[in-house]
Homo-oligomer: A and B are copies of this chain.
Amino acid sequence: VGPPIFTSERLYDKTQPGVVMGLAWTSMGGSSLYIESTLDKPLSYYNSENKKIYSTPQFNQTGQLGSVMKESSIIAYTFAKSFLLKRDPSNTFFQYASIHMHVPEGATPKDGPSAGCTITTALLSLAMNQSVKDNIAMTGEITLTGKILKIGGLREKTIAAKRSGVKYILFPEDNKNDWNKFPDYIKEGITGIPVGWYEEIFNFVFEKNVSNIKDVNNIKN
């Protein structure tokens, strides 16, 4: 089938749990951008008296994020916690997890609210120890209740997504008119999925909508 043509922007061949591809928009055009999240300490350990000690929940961000994007990540964190509590009350990950989120590349300043749904997905992916499906990118501001709000630069983001080998792009329902007006050559080979609420993203990107039991088990009481 020949060699891939545009892969330089693709950081991951297969994303691991905690990592999700978002899309950014600058005066230079669009570009893909990864949200990475990981635990920065074990969820629990045994102390010298052989007592199980749980870590304290925390959420830190790096990646030269501006104030809007920092707030956006806190909104995503709050929403992810309440969403998982409803979806899978047995998953106690967030109760103990000290999480570090990073947005490469480290020297590039980033800002804006449109990675909200991507950050939410990265955190849920980490919490459930489940990768998102391949070839997916997403963009959309998220509110505390999971509503997905309109974003800018969908055209440039779509072009960037294709360049990174993305097959499905999830974007806010309120950007549907933008999408419909794009010429066919832009939409060729990529499927646009408009979403109104976060739940629609969740149902689309995760293979099975439950936690990966094996790994979550070890943090249960």
Interface residues of A (CB under 8 A from B): 8, 11-12, 16, 18-19, 34, 36-42, 45-48, 50, 52, 54, 57, 60, 62-64, 67-68, 71-72, 74-75, 77-79, 81-82, 85, 92, 95, 100-102, 104-107, 112-113, 116, 141, 143-145, 147, 149, 174, 221
Contacts and interface: CB of A to CB of B under 8 A. Distances in A.
A102 B36 contact: no
A171 to B, nearest CB: 16
Nearest to A72: B106
Contact of A147 (B12, B48, B74, B147): B12
Given A60-B74, A74-B100, A106-B116, 7 more contacts: A11-B149, A12-B147, A42-B85, A47-B221, A64-B68, A78-B102, A100-B144
Contact of A38 (B37, B40, B78, B174): B78
Nearest to A52: B48
Contacts of A50: 221
A63 B67 CA distance: 10
A131 to B, nearest CB: 12
Contacts of A72: 106
Main secondary structure of the interface of A (DSSP, over half): mixed
A145 B13 CA distance: 13
Contacts of A52: 48
Given A36-B144, A45-B95, A104-B141, A64 B67 contact: yes
Given A81-B41, A82-B38, A107-B68, A74 B62 contact: yes
